[in-house]
Amino acid sequence: MICWREWDGEIVVYYDLTGNTHLLNSLAGLVLRRLAESGAARSVAELTESIGPSVAIEPDIAQIEAVEAVLTDLERFGLAARGTA
Amino acid sequence: MAMSEQQVPEQPSSTPSTDASSPQATSPEAGRRRLLQGGLAAGPVIFTLFSRPALGGGIGGECKTPSGFLSGNLSQHGTPTFCSGRTPGYWKQSQHFGDWVAPYFPTAVSGPGGHQATTFHSATTGFTGNQFGTQTMLQVLGTGGNTGGYTALGRHITAALLNARRGWTPVLSETGVRNIWNEYVSKGYFEPSAGIKWYPAQIVDYLVTTMPL
Amino acid sequence: MALRTGAFVNVIQSAIPAVSEAIALLYSNHPLVESGGFADFHVSVRAATGVRRWLRRQVLFEFDGARPFKPLPFPQAFPMLEWGLNWCVSNHCNNLLVFHAAVIAHENRALILAAPPGYGKSTLCAALVNCGWRLLSDELTLIDPASGNVLPLARPVSLKNASIGVIRSFAPDAPLSRIVTDTVKGSVAHMRPPVGSVQRANEPAKPHWIVFPRFQSGAPTTLSPYAKARAFMQLADNAFNYNVHGKRGFETVADLVSSSGCYEFSYGNLNEAVSVFDTLAKSAP
């Protein structure tokens, strides 16, 4: 079970399986939120599209790559899991 | 490829701002503790508080959690938590066998109510891997030198487990000790904090601080 | 003797004159409790026996008959008692969230001062409680997860090194213990808590402000908002037993941060600092 709170675009997350608490930047928070809202598996492309222009991503990094980096990080801490398509 | 989240999280609750001045995501002043120094990652996960034993600080016999030890500040929290752990040398001496607390036993005892000597790699200790084969905890305590780079670690991790069981190290529980060893087995190092890697020598350095007696 | 400090009853045994003298000075306003009744902590501070007793006298702290600490030099007997009592609270109160932070209150609105050692938190705390703020604790902030309230301790305020002289000048009438030198923290002394703070030590306060102070000589006095998510992480990282509480710990700290104004505070002049806090106190709820 993941618990979270958000203040001004930054999110703190507690994951009871690991007992770890994380501070996420706005993009990571948004990605995690989109994953949670959908309740089902989403592809990276779908996720990126759903986030859209709501978060500023540095123009020289492709949006999908940025979301990928977020997902890799979230996976590292057990907050998201890669499934088979 | 698809991503899925493992559990359905609770809905995030945004805070209605009741403050006189509305908080901005200010850029933190440099030099303020781990959140602002090297501990801050540039990536999506900015900072992680790992589930570690309750914080502690030391006076004299320095004694902290692994992440507390990282910051190197002697009297970090001002309020002392002291460890009174014993060294591997202490635990291997027969006159101290009485200090071992079940389920860890130094030697085998036969007859009713008897028990085996506890093996280092066992369900009892929870230590994974096979670095020490079928050796008992006592044998590992008695191994000399630092063969393979991990025998010194084995001696100290054994002592740390016994200390934790005994209640002599408030900052490091048995689970904490197991986590250190098992992470070393799986990765070759232990990460006391995101991005920091402790190899066996550094883990030993840390464990020694919990064994002032 | 059995002393009540906020929610806790401490039975303290010591035959060391310096300890009795310090207790008589610094705990003179604290209620004594009938001995033989329930106590939270049974502690004693006594001279170590053995050869060292004559060569270089040492002192031991005992808790429930056990000795959790190495001995310290004899002159440090009273500081050792205070440190030991802090240890008792921070290690044995896992029904509460315990933070390493000072906490004061104005009209029952609590202000938590969280900072690492050397950042001027204790000096600020000592000054403010001499200017009308109620002392709840100079070292350990206790939060009751059920109510979210701060529970007071109102024990002596610990001062070290330069801050001893600063507070002596700032509040010359505030009773201070003898200075004990050469401790691992340098020179330490303790200030008696104001009688009003001790009398109200059974009154919880509601968290209202969280401030991360930093003293820097010559620095301008500035109070600026601090991102709540970062305040959360700082606080949780400064809790002794955040992990023990699991999800409830997370929720408690989150509620604490949500309901408080979070600030960082930089100061170089104590009088100016006090004045900023006075303004804060008068601000709308």
Average pLDDT over residues B97-120: 89
Strands C72-73 and C97-100: unpaired
Nearest residue in chain C measured CA to CA from B64: C240
Residue B45 lies in a domain: no
* Binary contact (C228, A7; C-beta < 8 A): yes
Q: Best interface-test mutation with B: which of C235, C237, C255, C259 has the largest number of B CBs within 10 A? A: C237
Q: Quick check: B50 contacting A, CB < 8 Å?
A: yes
Q: Quick check: C97 contacting A, CB < 8 Å?
A: no
Nearest residue in chain B measured CA to CA from A2: B9
Residue B17 lies in a domain: no
> What residues of chain A, 49 to 68, have a C-beta less than 8 Å from chain B?
none
* Binary contact (B56, C117; C-beta < 8 A): no
Residues of A with CB below 8 A from C210's CB?
Answer: none
Strands A20-24 and B45-49: antiparallel
Residue B124 lies in a domain: yes
Nearest CA-CA distance, residue B111 and chain C, Å: 34
Nearest CA-CA distance, residue C19 and chain B, Å: 19
Question: How far is residue B42's CA from residue B208's CA, in Å, rounded to a whole number?
Answer: 33
H/E stretch holding C282: helix C270-282
Q: Where are the alpha helices (DSSP H) in C94-189?
A: 121-129, 162-170
Task: Pick B8's closest partner by Cβ from A5, A36, A81.
Answer: A36
Residues of B with CB below 8 A from C279's CB?
Answer: none
Residue B77 lies in a domain: no
Instruction: State the helix-helix crossing angle for B200-208 and B174-187, rounded to 10 degrees.
Output: 170
Residue C142, both tokens: 């206790």
Question: How far is residue B140's CA from residue B199's CA, in Å, rounded to a whole number?
Answer: 19
Per-residue pLDDT for B206 more than 80?
yes
Q: Quick check: A39 contacting B, CB < 8 Å?
A: yes
Residues of B with CB below 8 A from A61's CB?
Answer: none
As a dihedral over the C-alpha atoms of residue A72, residue A74, residue A80, residue A81, rounded to 10 degrees, the angle is 30
Instruction: Transcribe B163-204 into DSSP letters.
Output: HHHHT--TT--HHHHHHHHHHHHHHSSB-SSTT--B-HHHHH
* Binary contact (A16, C254; C-beta < 8 A): no
Q: Quick check: C233 contacting A, CB < 8 Å?
A: yes
Cβ–Cβ pairs < 8 A, chains B and C: 125
Q: Best interface-test mutation with B: which of A18, A26, A30, A35 has the largest number of B CBs within 10 A? A: A35
- Of the pLDDT bands very low, low, confident and very high (cuts 50, 70, 90), residue A1 is confident
Sequence ranges of chain C with CATH classification 3.40.50? 95-285
Touching subunits of C (3+ CB pairs, under 8 Å) are: A, B
Residue indicated by tokens 């200790």: B125
* Binary contact (A12, C258; C-beta < 8 A): no
Any idea how long chain C is?
285
Residue indicated by tokens 């109102």: C154
Q: Where are the alpha helices (DSSP H) in C101-142?
A: 121-129
Instruction: Tell me the HSE value of C103 on the side-chain side, using a 13 A CA sphere.
Output: 29
Task: Pick A20's closest partner by Cβ from B4, B11, B48.
Answer: B48
The structure's pTM equals 0.67
Q: Is C214 helix (H, G, I), strand (E, B) or coil?
A: strand
Output the pLDDT for position A40. Answer: 72
Residue C229 · residue A10 · CB < 8 Å: yes
Domain count, chain B: 1
**Apex C37 CA angle, C31 and C40, nearest 5:** 75
Residue B201 lies in a domain: yes
Neighbours of C214 (CB within 10 A): 20
Task: Pick A83's closest partner by Cβ from B4, B46, B51.
Answer: B4
Phi, psi for B141 (deg, rounded to 5): -60, -30
- Between C284 and B115, the more confident residue is B115
Touching subunits of B (3+ CB pairs, under 8 Å) are: A, C
Per-residue pLDDT for B158 more than 90?
yes
Q: Quick check: C18 contacting A, CB < 8 Å?
A: no
Residue B3 lies in a domain: no
Output the pLDDT for position B70. Answer: 54
User: Of 3.40.50, 1.10.10, 3.30.70, 2.60.40, which CATH number belongs to C95-285?
Assistant: 3.40.50
Q: Quick check: C225 contacting A, CB < 8 Å?
A: no
Nearest CA-CA distance, residue B132 and chain C, Å: 32
* Binary contact (B84, C68; C-beta < 8 A): yes
Output the pLDDT for position B69. Answer: 58
Residue indicated by tokens 């030391």: B58
Output the pLDDT for position B29. Answer: 27
Residues of A with CB below 8 A from B55's CB?
Answer: none
Per-residue pLDDT for B46 more than 80?
no
Task: Pick B23's closest partner by Cβ from A8, A70, A83.
Answer: A8
The mean pLDDT of chain B is: 69
Q: Which domain holds residue B131?
A: 88-208
* Binary contact (C227, B51; C-beta < 8 A): no
Reading chain C (285 residues) residue by residue, the pLDDT tens digits are: 899 999 898 999 999 999 999 999 999 999 988 877 788 888 999 998 776 556 678 888 888 878 777 788 889 999 999 988 988 888 788 889 999 899 999 999 999 999 877 788 999 999 999 999 999 999 999 999 999 999 999 999 999 889 999 999 999 999 999 999 988 778 999 999 999 999 999 999 999 999 999 998 888 999 999 999 999 998 988 888 887 888 999 999 999 999 999 999 999 999 999 999 999 998 866
Nearest CA-CA distance, residue C72 and chain B, Å: 8
* Binary contact (C86, B79; C-beta < 8 A): yes
DSSP classification of residue C17:
H
Task: Pick B32's closest partner by Cβ from C100, C184, C214.
Answer: C214
